Structure 1
Amino acid sequence: MMKVCEQSEAEAALVQQWGWLLAGRQLLLETLPQELQVALKELGATGQQIQLVPGAFAQGSRWYCQRCGSRLRTDQRLPSGQLYCTACLALGRVCQNSQLVRFPSANHFSVQTPVLTWTGKLTPQQEKLTQSLLAGYQQGASVQLLWAVTGAGKTEITFKLITDYLARGLRVGFVSPRVDVCNEIYPRLQQAFARTAMGLHHGQAKPVPQAEQLVVATIHQLVRYYQAFDLLIVDEVDAFPYVGDPMLERVMRQAVQPTGQRLYLSATPPAAMRRAARRGQLPLHYLARRFHGRPLVQPRVVFGQVFQQDQWTGRLRRLLAPWLGRQRRILIFVPQAASLPRYLAALQRAFPSVQAQTVHAQDPLRLEKVADFRGGSGQVLLTTTILERGVTLPHVDVLVLAADHPNFNVASLVQIAGRVGRAPTNQGDQVVFYCQYESWAISQACHQIKQLNRRGGF
Structure 2
Amino acid sequence: LAPRLRTAFATTPIAVRYGGHFDQTDSDLVLTTVHQLLRFHRAFDLIVVDEVDAFPMAGTPMLHRAVQGARRGPVVYLTATPDRPLKAAMRKGLMVSRLFRRFHGHPLPVPAIRLMNFKKLPSQLPPAIVKWVRDVVATGRSCLLFVPKISWAPQIAALVQRNGLRVAGVASTDRLRAEKIKAFRQRQIQVLVTTTILERGVTVPKCAVGVVAAADRAFTASALVQIAGRAGRAADSADDPVVFFTDRYTLALLAAKRQIVMMNGR
Q: Do the structures match in fold with TM over 0.5?
A: yes
Aligned partner letter, 2:56: P
Aligned to 2:254: 443
Give the Cα–Cα distance (whole angstroms) in 2 for the partners of residues 381 and 296 of structure 1. Answer: 21
Question: Could you tell me how far 1:446 is from its partner in structure 2?
Answer: 0.6
Question: Could you tell me how far 1:335 is from its partner in structure 2?
Answer: 1.4
3-state DSSP of counterpart to 1:234 = strand
Aligned to 1:197: 13
> CA, structure 1 residues 328+345, in 2 after alignment: closer, same or farther (shift >3 Å)?
same
> CA, structure 1 residues 229+420, in 2 after alignment: closer, same or farther (shift >3 Å)?
same
Give the Cα–Cα distance (whole angstroms) in 1 for the partners of residues 222 and 238 of structure 2. Answer: 25
List runs of 5+ in structure 1 lacking aligned partners: 1-184
1:282 aligns with 2:94: yes
1:246 aligns with 2:61: yes
Q: Residues 86-165 of structure 1 correspond to what in structure 2 (within 5 A)?
A: none
Aligned to 2:200: 389
Question: Could you tell me how far 1:324 is from its partner in structure 2?
Answer: 3.5
1:188 aligns with 2:4: yes
Aligned to 1:376: 187
3-state DSSP of counterpart to 2:66 = helix
> CA, structure 1 residues 273+348, in 2 after alignment: closer, same or farther (shift >3 Å)?
same
Q: TM-score, normalised by structure 2?
A: 0.90
String of CA shifts for 1:102-141, please: whole Å, max 9, x gaps: xxxxxxxxxxxxxxxxxxxxxxxxxxxxxxxxxxxxxxxx
Q: Residues 341-360 of structure 1 correspond to what in structure 2 (within 5 A)?
A: 341-349=154-162, 351=163, 353-360=164-171
Q: How many residues align?
A: 265
Aligned to 2:104: 292
1:320 aligns with 2:136: no
8 Å CA contact 2:147, 2:211 repeated in 1: yes
String of CA shifts for 1:205-241, please: whole Å, max 9, x gaps: 6344232332111222223333322211101111122
String of CA shifts for 1:359-389, please: whole Å, max 9, x gaps: 2234323323222211222100111212212
Give the Cα–Cα distance (whole angstroms) in 1 for the partners of residues 43 and 239 of structure 2. Answer: 45
String of CA shifts for 1:309-368, please: whole Å, max 9, x gaps: 62212333333332244343100111122321221222223x1x1101122234323323
Q: RMSD value over aligned CA atoms?
A: 2.1
> CA, structure 1 residues 255+361, in 2 after alignment: closer, same or farther (shift >3 Å)?
farther
Give the Cα–Cα distance (whole angstroms) in 2 for the partners of residues 231 and 380 of structure 1. Answer: 38
Give the Cα–Cα distance (whole angstroms) in 2 for the partners of residues 319 and 369 of structure 1. Answer: 22
Give the Cα–Cα distance (whole angstroms) in 2 for the partners of residues 199 and 361 of structure 1. Answer: 27
Q: TM-score, normalised by structure 1?
A: 0.54
What percent of counterpart residues are identical? 41
Aligned partner letter, 1:270: D
String of CA shifts for 1:263-311, please: whole Å, max 9, x gaps: 11112222332333234x2111112122222211110011123462622
8 Å CA contact 2:140, 2:206 repeated in 1: no
3-state DSSP of counterpart to 1:230 = coil
Q: Residues 357-436 of structure 1 correspond to what in structure 2 (within 5 A)?
A: 357-426=168-237, 428-436=239-247
Q: Which has the higher contact order (CA 8 A, sep 6+)?
A: 2
Give the Cα–Cα distance (whole angstroms) in 1 for the partners of residues 155 and 116 of structure 2. Answer: 18
Aligned to 2:263: 452
3-state DSSP of counterpart to 2:21 = coil
Aligned partner letter, 1:298: V
Aligned partner letter, 1:348: Q
1:273 aligns with 2:89: no
3-state DSSP of counterpart to 1:433 = strand
Give the Cα–Cα distance (whole angstroms) in 1 for the partners of residues 100 and 190 of structure 2. Answer: 31
Aligned residue among 4, 9, 26 for 1:211: 26
Give the Cα–Cα distance (whole angstroms) in 2 for the partners of residues 325 and 194 of structure 1. Answer: 36
Give the Cα–Cα distance (whole angstroms) in 2 for the partners of residues 214 and 453 of structure 1. Answer: 32
